[in-house]
Structures are given as C-alpha cells and as structure tokens.
Structure 1
Amino acid sequence: MPATGRALDLACGRGTVAVWLARRGLDVDAVDVSPVGLAAGREQAPEVHWIEADLDDGLPVAGPYDVVVCQRFRDPGLYPALADVLAPGGLLVISVLSGAGDEGGPFRAPPGELLAAFGALDVLHHEQGHGEESLVAVR
C-alpha cells in the first residue's frame, strides 16, 4: 500500500476506508450517494474530499489514482472506468456480493465476474465463495 499519492474510495458509506487511507498519508476522494454517510465521514476526517454523487451516473472524478477501493458496490458498467483511473502501478481493491457459493440473486455478480473484468491487470489476489468475490490487482 503506497504511503503517498491519490486514493479513491467509491460507495464509501461512512468513510471508514477513506479515513484509514487518509491517515496513512494519501490524498483521498471519497464518493457516496448518501449525504448522511458523507457527513459522518467528514466529522472523522475533514481532510478527505467528500463527494456526493450517484455512481449510476458514472464516475464523478478523474484519475490517475494510486489506490482505488470499491467494496460491495456492483456496477459492471463502471469496471472499465475503474481500470482507466488507475495510475501505472496503481492498486485496485474491489469486492462484490456474488453467486459464488450462494444462491445468487438480481444484485449478485455471477461467479468470476471480477476476474473476467480485471484480468488484464496484474491480479495479486482473487477469492470467491460464500456469496462474495474479491480481487486485488495492480495496473
């Protein structure tokens, strides 16, 4: 994990990851649709750039980012943009609810979705099962 540079936390909720990244020296943009969640995050780390935006409308930021984190928000239409905003050597950390080891459902990714979407990156870790899929990769 880099100690300097830019980081992006998508669908950040109350900003736990964004705050963690900022406290490690990164300049953080944190995006969520909830003004309540963003306000809670802002109280913890006013230095983070808190952005209220609906990701259904696309990414409201431009890269490059040294770290991109997206946990439990799934929009396959955004996957190319997530890879595009990564700086060379940038780290992507993403997890989604998945049908892997679970009955699935309309909001769960089919097994292997993240690996298929980000397989062109250098995949450092990929895991799926128990209803989740996660991937860590470097550009």
Structure 2
Amino acid sequence: MSRWSELTGETSGSDYAARFAALACSGKDVHGEARLCAALVPAGARVLDAGCGTGRVMIRLAELGYDCVGVDRDASMLAVAREQAPDLPWFQLDLAEFEPDRLGIAADFDLVVAAGNIFPLLAAGTEATVVGRLAAALRPGGYIVAGFGLDAAHLPVPPSITLPEYDAYCAAAGLALVDRFSTWDADPYEGGGYAVSVHRR
C-alpha cells in the first residue's frame, strides 16, 4: 500500500480540490508548477502528469496548449479531474506499474511532471521502479521535474527519500541532473526542506 493510501484512504479528492480552489479565490497563485514546465518545453509538447491528482497542473498545461496525459492511482482524485476536464486523458494506475504501451499511448513524452510530493508518498521500496518507468516514457532529451518535501515540516508523512537517493535512482535510469530549485517559482536551492529537481534523459 502506498503512503498516500495510508494517509487518505483514497477518498479525499473533493476536499483536496476545494483547498486549492479556496487558495485561488484568495488571490494566491496556484500555477507555479505549470509555469516551470512551460519554461522547460514549448507549447505543443507532450507532458505526462505523473500522480496528477485532481488535475490542477495538467488542466492548466492543457489550457496553455500542451498535449497532456494524467495518471494517478486515487479514484477519488481522478473523479474530480474527469469532472473538471472530461475531454482530457486520465488513467487510473499505480505509477510503479506504468507502461505507456499498456494504456495505448506513445512513450515519447517531452516532459514528465511529478508535483505534490509524489515520491515521498509512494509505496516503500517502489521509488527506483517509478523513476525507471517514468524515465522510459521520455524521448531522448526529455525532462522529468519533481518537487517534494525532504523533512517533517514539508510532508504529511515521515520523510522517506533524500535528494542523494533520488539522484541515484535518476542516474540509474539514465537521467542527469540539470537544475534544482527550492520552489516551483525557480528560486535557487541552497539546502532546506523542499526541492524541485529537473533531470534530463
């Protein structure tokens, strides 16, 4: 069972969406992830939203002209995504089992985005497998950008993955680190409890 399942029971989709809707209504910018993705690849590029949740990031990218696919294991989150954007492709699947061919989609993504603490919330021991499967879905030169907490202050679960571990999984999957930020607004990373890492195949 994933840490996400243990934390939420996979029934929190509407609550999660409501929280971000309230943030947006308060005037807070909730599109930093999409903005960073757009800085990495041009409109029209193929983007895989790995752990897409309620679709907030992917729907924004689709609005900006990206060709997007969303994958998540949580049916309650995907129900919200499908209600908000029924014409976009949403797939329910554990990322540890992700194989584009099985879903009838091409494995030539320009970018994979994993926002929302995806890696710390995976089932223990599947992190390297997930990195490998996501890397295999990238075209040569494609990017994977992942943001996640590294300490208790930035996570809803105990910390479970370090940056050196994540970088090692990426290296084993044929990915090289090209940038690291402390926020999705691309502030420099100088240590701290949250990092956004950009690796390239």
TM tier, smaller: 0.7 to 0.9
Contact 2:152 2:159 in 1 (8 A): no
Give how far 1:45 is off: 2.0
The answer (yes or no) to whether the contact 1:18–1:48 under 8 Å persists in 2 is no
- 1:115-137 deviation line (CA, Å, top 9, x unaligned): 22324534331246433332112
Distance 1:133 1:13 in 2: 20
Unaligned residue ranges in structure 1 (runs of 5+): none
| CA–CA separation in structure 1 for the residues paired with 2:94 and 2:135 | 19
- CA distance 1:20–1:67, change in 2 (3 Å): same
Q: Does 1:69 align with 2:113?
A: yes
DSSP 3-state at the match of 1:29 = strand
Contact 1:11 1:70 in 2 (8 A): yes
Residue 134 of structure 2: which of 56, 67, 82 is its match? 82
Specify the alignment match of 1:52 in structure 2: 92
Aligned residue runs from structure 1 range 38-49, under 5 A: 38-49=78-89
Which of 54, 63, 73 is the matching residue for 1:14? 54
Tell me the distance in 1 between the aligned counterparts of 2:129 and 2:149: 16
- For 1:73-112, list aligned pairs within 5 A: 73-74=118-119, 75-99=127-151, 107-112=159-164
Give ranges in structure 2 of 5+ residues lacking alignment.
Answer: 1-40, 102-106, 120-126, 182-188
**Larger strand fraction of residues:** 1
1:114 aligns with 2:166: yes
CA RMSD of aligned residues (A): 2.6
Between Structure 1 and Structure 2, the one with more helix by share is 2
For normalisation by structure 1, the TM-score amounts to 0.80
Post-superposition offset of 1:18: 1.0
SS in 2 for 1:14: coil
- Aligned pairs, how many? 136
Distance 2:152 2:42 in 1: 31
Residue in 2 that maps onto 1:37: 77
Q: Cα 1:126–1:116, aligned 2, differ >3 Å: closer, same or farther?
A: farther
State the 4+ residue runs in structure 1 displaced beyond 3 angstroms: 99-102, 119-122, 127-130
Match of 2:196 in 1: 134
When structure 1 is superposed on structure 2, of 18-27 and 105-114 the one drifting more is 105-114
| TM-score for the superposition, normalised by structure 2 | 0.58
Query: After the TM superposition, which of the residue ranges 19-28 and 90-99 deviates more from structure 2?
Result: 90-99
